[in-house]
């Protein structure tokens, strides 16, 4: 009997162990299932901690550079180019001969004018001595002097037409002709630029002109390098043709790195906040009332936060109110969110 009872007792004990084991497995399975369900309901996101940032706003223009002084010499005759004495990029002095036309052009009669000038110069110098010694009258001398001055003026005028000189000292920034080329009257021959400083002209619209002042600093950007510049002229009247206000910039060019005729970007800083809250414009949304909002994370919950938008610079926006330093701004996954959505930070 005792043996039989012992068997029943052992059976009952094993049954209890099995029941408890199965119950434990069921509870654990239920717990894992609930955790898995909770995990699946949370929306995966990425966040960015808001920190103080330097915010700058610029106005950008595109313009062509030109020398501080530039002049283009044009042809005064129709003829071929006989000789060119300089090359583009060379420095020339005022009065230096840059190129030459033939001296035998029949329409100019340059050789005849030269001979006439040389003869009248000799006669003039002889009569000047005769006048000093009293061997001729003042009237005779005045007549000779008049003929001499006319001959000299004609010769020098023809000489300037044929031997084309540099009107200013500077760099030959462009030569538009070649030796032997036939050209017409009024065609450009060459351009001389004074490049110790460069200028640029841009056109500002009605909104931009309100932020610009004479003397305001900026930078010229060309070939990846930046060069400081400033505004030296600011129109007070809109140009009827350009539909903008003329703005002139000047930049020092001591090494002559900046070239005339190149297109550059000019940026003028009109605003700066060294400790701003700045976020990408793409993260800002609008509700049905047109109010701006973003999403931040608080205790695993996405919170819709209304913000006051300030200035915009490129893709960045300055936030004036609604966000604080240290907030966790949601930067990825916002298209799946609603206010109070459960989220899972994936950073």
- SS3 (DSSP) at 77: coil
Residue 169: the pLDDT is 97
Residue 20: the pLDDT is 54
Please report which confidence band the pLDDT of residue 180 belongs to, taking 50, 70 and 90 as the band edges: very high
Q: What is the C-alpha separation between 66 and 253, in angstroms, rounded?
A: 11
Residue 36: the pLDDT is 45
CATH topology of domain 43-55+274-345: 2.40.420
CATH topology of domain 195-272: Elongation Factor Tu (Ef-tu); domain 3 (2.40.30)
Q: What is the C-alpha separation between 251 and 266, in angstroms, rounded?
A: 11
Residue 330: the pLDDT is 95
Q: What is the pLDDT of residues 202-258, one digit of tens each?
A: 999 999 999 999 999 999 999 999 999 999 999 999 999 999 999 999 999 999 999
Asked whether the predicted pLDDT for residue 39 surpasses 60, the reply is: no
Q: In the CATH scheme, what is the code of domain 76-186?
A: 1.10.287.470
Residue 28: the pLDDT is 52
Residue 85: the pLDDT is 97
Residue among 173, 168, 169, 171 at smallest CA distance from 188? 173
What does the domain layout of the chain look like in residue ranges?
A: 1-40, 43-55+274-345, 76-186, 195-272
Cα–Cα distances in angstroms (integers) from residue 193 to residues 5, 167, 215, in the given order: 120, 11, 24
Cα–Cα distances in angstroms (integers) from residue 86 to residues 44, 73, 76, 89, 173, in the given order: 70, 14, 20, 9, 11
In the chain, % of residues over pLDDT 90: 84
pTM above 0.85, yes or no: no
Average pLDDT value for the chain:
90
């Amino acid at each position: 009997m005792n043996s039989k009872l012992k068997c029943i007792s052992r059976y009952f004990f094993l049954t209890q162990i099995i029941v408890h084991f199965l119950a434990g497995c069921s509870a654990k399975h239920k717990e894992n299932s609930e955790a898995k369900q909770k995990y699946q309901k949370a929306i995966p996101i990425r966040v960015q901690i808001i920190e103080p940032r330097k915010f700058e706003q610029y106005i950008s223009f595109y313009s062509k550079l030109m020398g501080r002084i530039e002049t283009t010499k044009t042809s005064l005759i129709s003829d071929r180019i006989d000789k060119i004495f300089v090359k583009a990029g060379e420095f020339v002095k005022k009065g230096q001969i840059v190129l030459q036309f033939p001296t035998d052009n029949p329409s100019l009669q340059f050789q005849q004018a030269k001979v006439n000038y040389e003869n009248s110069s000799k006669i003039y110098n002889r009569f000047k001595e005769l006048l000093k010694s009293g061997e001729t009258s003042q009237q005779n001398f005045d007549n000779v002097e008049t003929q001499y001055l006319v001959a000299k003026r004609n010769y020098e005028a023809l000489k300037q037409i044929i031997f084309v000189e540099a009107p200013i000292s500077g760099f030959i920034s462009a030569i538009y002709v070649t030796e032997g080329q036939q050209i017409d009257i009024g065609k450009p021959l060459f351009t001389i630029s004074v490049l110790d400083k460069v200028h640029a002209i841009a056109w500002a619209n009605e909104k931009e002109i309100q932020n610009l002042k004479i003397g305001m600093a900026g930078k010229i950007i060309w070939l990846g390098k930046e060069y400081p510049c400033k505004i030296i002229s600011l129109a007070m009247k809109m140009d009827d043709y350009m539909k903008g206000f003329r703005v002139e910039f000047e930049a020092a060019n001591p090494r002559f790195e900046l070239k005339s005729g190149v297109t550059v970007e000019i940026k003028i800083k009109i605003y700066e906040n060294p400790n701003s809250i700045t976020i990408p414009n793409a993260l800002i949304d609008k509700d049905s009332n047109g109010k701006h909002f973003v999403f931040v994370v608080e205790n695993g919950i996405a919170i819709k936060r209304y913000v006051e938008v300030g200035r915009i610079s490129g893709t960045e926006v300055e936030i004036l109110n609604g966000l604080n330093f240290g907030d966790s701004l949601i930067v990825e996954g916002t298209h799946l969110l609603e206010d109070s959505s459960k989220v899972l930070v994936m950073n």
